[in-house]
Amino acid sequence: MKISLLEPIGVTKETIDELAEGFKEKGHEFVYYDTKTTDKEELKKRSAGCDIVMIANNPYPAEVVEAADRLKMLSVAFTGIDHIGTEKCKEKGVMICNAAGYSNQTVAELVLGMAIDALRNVVKANETVRNGGTSAGIGGREICGRTVGIIGLGRIGLMCAKLFLAFGAKVIAYNRSESEEAKALGIEYKPLEEVLKTSDIISLNLPLNNETKGFLDAEKIALMKPDAVFINCARGPIVDNAALAKALNTGKLGFACVDVFDMEPPLPADYPLLGAKNTLLTPHQAFISEESMLRRAKIVFDNVYAYIDGKPINVCK
């Protein structure tokens, strides 16, 4: 079989070669492209003749899937698969396997770090001292004793909850289903409206799909406390970011920490959140750390080896 990794996945070429060694030993062809592309024609060329394609979070649209006439399996170095032409994959019988779980710790740690910055003014303090200022007026608030609302208590949401609990916060959550592990930790499940109305810190941890696109609209944002901190390290299109910016600018919401947007950075100059008050913005980096990239690479290659051996793992579609 021909196996191609169509883009870099955050590890060295030496690591890629080491992980791919078993392909050659099994008599398969392996090709690695060390540059990213979103050009559909280039993606078609890179996928030509491939039985298995490995990608990360760049789009792999339906027309590319259609053109890949030998494609049988996609191994995705990412948790979400909304950037893939999944319906076309289903139509053609192409199996999709993801790398769920690789970034749980990494994302949760950034969520916590963002919360600390929002409450303790870390970035502002750095700017203040460099400009000859003092600590007057920037002491901030503690996480301990505050109510943290987790919207979407999956694996990443649960990891976020554990970290907030370690800081002494009370954690409440909204999720379609309830887990005994969460309840054992003292996490209380509440209706969405109550989570939005009563939380001092809100972390959004939902996946992006047809049900969650636009989920957090202006009406729901308006339910949040005026001094609440909202954190989105999930997916950008889940939130009406124009409404979020308006809430910040009008004092209806205290602070927003956002790592994901309606498109991948760089953002256009007129993007609403760029000009919004009281924001901490990062360029979709929550999933990236040395450790998570190594975990991801191993998972995405393990997916392929398992498929070749007839025992597929991490199957999404």
Q: Would you please indicate which residues are annotated as catalytic (active-site) residues?
A: 235, 264, 284
Burial 140-172 (b: 16+ CB within 10 A, else e): eeebeebbbbbbbbbebbbbbbbbbeeeebbbb
Q: Among 11, 55, 5, 13, which Cα is nearest to 30's?
A: 5
Side-chain half-sphere exposure of 101, counting CA atoms within 13 A? 7
**CA angle at residue 128 from 123 to 134, to 5 degrees?**
125
Q: How far apart are alpha carbons 228 and 108 in whole angstroms?
A: 19
Ramachandran angles phi, psi of 23, nearest 5°: -60, -45
For residue 277, list its beta bridge partners.
none
Strand, helix or coil for residue 203: strand
103, 292 Cβ separation under 8 angstroms: yes
Q: Among 43, 114, 51, 122, which Cα is nearest to 84's?
A: 43
- Give the chain's length: 317
Q: How far apart are alpha carbons 215 and 22 in whole angstroms?
A: 43
Do β-strands 229-232 and 201-204 pair in parallel, antiparallel, or remain unpaired?
parallel
